[in-house]
Amino acid sequence: MPEKRKASQYVASLRLDRWPRSMAILIGSAAFFLVHPNRLPGSLTPFLAWQIILAFFLTWMISTANYIINEITDAPYDAFHPEKKNRPLVQNKISVNMLLSGWALLVVAALGLGWVLYSQSFVLSLLALLLAGIFYNVPPIRMKDVPYLDSTMESANNPIRFLIGWYILADPFPPLSLLLAWWAFGNFLMVGKRVAEKKFLTAAESSAYRLSLNLYSAGGLFFFMVANGLLFLVLFILFALRLNLKTFLYVLPLIVFYLIFFLVKSTQDRDAAEEPEKLLKNPYFALYTLFLLAVFIIAFWLR
């Protein structure tokens, strides 16, 4: 195989197209100012912008390291997936040892730079993101194979990325209700992914590709997805009441519509459920997301 083509196979294994997921740290940074609005005027400096940009790259490096582990540990199972069976490692086109070398380089660089440039809490959050990927993918723990725990562990990346963004600014722990709400929302999305896999993969494909799907029922998955959506709403309301953010409660109907939209898409569109960011390619959904963001900003200023 030509060297250039082989290099492209390694790059494909890094799943660099999923970089937008690391932008989730911005939620944590924005939430810090929501909880501590008095810190807003003096904090918005060019230095903070560079801190956030660098934090994004460190988070992206750890996330990429986790994708490498996922690529290696899932290869035997991806062989049974109609699309993932074409991944370079499944086709034996690249080396596991080379991927592990890349993993080590990314981990050492990210944690090392984090230790030098940020707080201890920030570095521990990066480490938590790394460990979450290991616990989720690597035997003998491999929570990916345990029903209900699989999505719950995968969605733990949401509150961890939240903490990374939060700890760019300060060390005090964020409100627990907000952190758990963000976890529940992530689990809502991850269960939607399993709903789509259960519906669109054949019985043979699903049982060989994701072991936990054998122990799921379609009804149980749907109920678990709805339960996480409701848990998110309850925790969001508790957070808004605790911080006296009554204007946020007026946004609830718009959030409920957002959840229902994704709930419906997870039963109709496998690609959108498996990769939620693909929904943003839908102009209507993208515009609604921007609209919802604008409403939150207005609600914040009207607090």
Instruction: Give the number of domains in the chain.
Output: 2
Q: Which residues contact 105 (CB under 8 A, 6 or more apart)?
A: none
From the list 156, 54, 160, 168, the residue with the least C-alpha distance to 122 is 168
- Tokens matching residue 277: 């960011």
Residue where a domain terminates, one of 144, 174, 204: 174
Ranges 208-217, 219-228, 240-249: which has the least confidence: 208-217
pLDDT for residue 256: 93
Round the average pLDDT of the chain to a whole number and report it: 85
The per-residue pLDDT for range 95-141, each reduced to its tens digit, is 888 889 999 999 999 999 999 999 999 999 999 999 999 999 998 88
Q: Are residues 168 and 204 in the same domain?
A: no
The mean pLDDT value for 45-74 works out to 92
Cα–Cα distance for residue pair 223/90, rounded to 1 Å: 34
Q: Are residues 162 and 59 in the same domain?
A: yes
Cα–Cα distance for residue pair 131/123, rounded to 1 Å: 12
Residue where a domain terminates, one of 159, 174, 189: 174
Q: Are residues 139 and 253 in the same domain?
A: no
Answer whether residue 275 shows pLDDT above 70: no
The mean pLDDT value for 221-235 works out to 94
Q: Are residues 185 and 160 in the same domain?
A: no
Q: Please give the sequence-ordered ranges of beta strands (E in DSSP) within 175-231, or none if there are none.
A: none
pLDDT for residue 212: 76
The mean pLDDT value for 27-41 works out to 84
Ranges 58-67, 233-242, 291-300: which has the least confidence: 291-300
Q: Are residues 4 and 123 in the same domain?
A: yes
Q: Are residues 254 and 283 in the same domain?
A: yes
Range of the domain at 292: 175-303
Q: Are residues 77 and 194 in the same domain?
A: no
The per-residue pLDDT for range 146-164, each reduced to its tens digit, is 889 999 999 999 999 999 9
The per-residue pLDDT for range 169-221, each reduced to its tens digit, is 888 899 999 999 999 999 998 888 888 777 777 666 666 667 777 778 888 88
pLDDT for residue 153: 92
Answer whether residue 24 shows pLDDT above 70: yes
Q: Are residues 155 and 181 in the same domain?
A: no
